[in-house]
Amino acid sequence: MLDYDGLRDEQLITLIAHGEKDALEVFYNRYAPSVFSLARYMLKESALAEEATQDIFLNLWLKASSYNPQRGAPRAWFMSIAHHRIIDVIKARIRSTKSTNQVSHELLDIHPSSEISTEDIAQQNLDREYILAALSDLPEGQREVIVLAYFEGYSQSEIASKLDQPLGTVKTRIRLAMQKLRVALGKYSEGE
């Protein structure tokens, strides 16, 4: 019997692509905590984060054969899939919230409270979308270290160890990513 626990991520993904459920279970045990943490941070709701995590691993099961080792490390590829799926959930919630609020207001002729206006809620949703879009525009290596540092709470030295990269590389990627995010978010705050 094959010892799945001792296999590298790339080997597990290959086995998952061939329908090996045990390989998926090992991969799940390795990455579910990180994926759930990211989903909970981005979605702000544990039940929704749990659902998104399950959906992300189902997506892995269905699309594992699309992994190309020449395009990057398995972890980076998978976390990118996770990030994009979570953004999809956020977009769906925004669309659903907008249509539900619109229908409720039209049917019941309810006007939003003066304390929290519809415009404030819309602006918060827009701000969140813009930040997520700016993150998704970063190169994969930079996005990965930002997610690990700011969404999952890893220190720079922990990130270097986790990704098996020099600490200097991690620091440079974080610095460059933060510069790009400042520029992107600066343009947004100026109304461009």
Exposure string of 81-113, with b = 16+ CB inside 10 Å and e = fewer, is bbbebbbebbeeebeeeeeeeeeeeeeeeeeee
What's 159's domain CATH number?
A: 1.10.10.10
Instruction: Among 61, 90, 111, identify where a domain stops.
Output: 111
Instruction: Among 111, 126, 157, identify where a domain stops.
Output: 111
The verdict on 51 and 119 lying in the same domain is no
Regarding predicted confidence, which is higher, 44 or 14?
14
Indicate whether 187 pLDDT > 70.
no
Instruction: Among 45, 79, 111, identify where a domain stops.
Output: 111
Per-residue pLDDT tens over the stretch 63-77: 999 998 887 788 888
78, 79, 85, 88 alpha-carbon torsion, rounded to 10°: -140
CA-to-CA distance for 31 and 24, rounded, in angstroms? 10
- What's the pLDDT score for residue 117? 53
- What's the pLDDT score for residue 110? 42
CA-to-CA distance for 154 and 40, rounded, in angstroms? 16
The verdict on 144 and 86 lying in the same domain is no
- What's the pLDDT score for residue 100? 46
- What's the pLDDT score for residue 160? 92
Measure CA of the first residue to CA of the last residue in the chain; give whole Å: 59
**What is the pTM (predicted TM-score) of this model?**
0.54
The verdict on 105 and 133 lying in the same domain is no
Regarding predicted confidence, which is higher, 125 or 36?
36
Residue recorded with tokens 């990965």: 144
For residues 1-19, average pLDDT: 90
Highest mean pLDDT among 68-77, 134-143, 161-170: 161-170
86, 87, 90, 91 alpha-carbon torsion, rounded to 10°: -140
- CB neighbour class for 2 (10 Å; exposed up to 12, middle 13-18, buried from 19): exposed
Indicate whether 164 pLDDT > 80.
yes
- What's the pLDDT score for residue 111? 44
The verdict on 27 and 106 lying in the same domain is yes
Domain count, the chain: 2
Indicate whether 168 pLDDT > 80.
yes
The verdict on 10 and 63 lying in the same domain is yes
* List of residues 6+ apart from 130 with CB closer than 8 A: 185, 188
DSSP 3-state of 86 = helix
Per-residue pLDDT tens over the stretch 110-125: 444 445 555 555 556 5
The verdict on 55 and 120 lying in the same domain is no
Lowest mean pLDDT among 46-55, 76-85, 132-141: 132-141
Long-range contacts from 49-57, C-beta under 8 angstroms, 24+ separation: 52/85, 52/86, 52/89, 55/85, 55/89, 56/81, 56/82, 56/85, 56/86, 57/24, 57/27, 57/28, 57/32
What's 106's domain CATH number?
A: 1.10.1740.10
Q: Where are the strands (E) in 59-163, listed by range? A: none
The verdict on 1 and 95 lying in the same domain is yes
For residues 75-94, average pLDDT: 84
Domain with 155 in it: 112-192
Indicate whether 28 pLDDT > 80.
yes
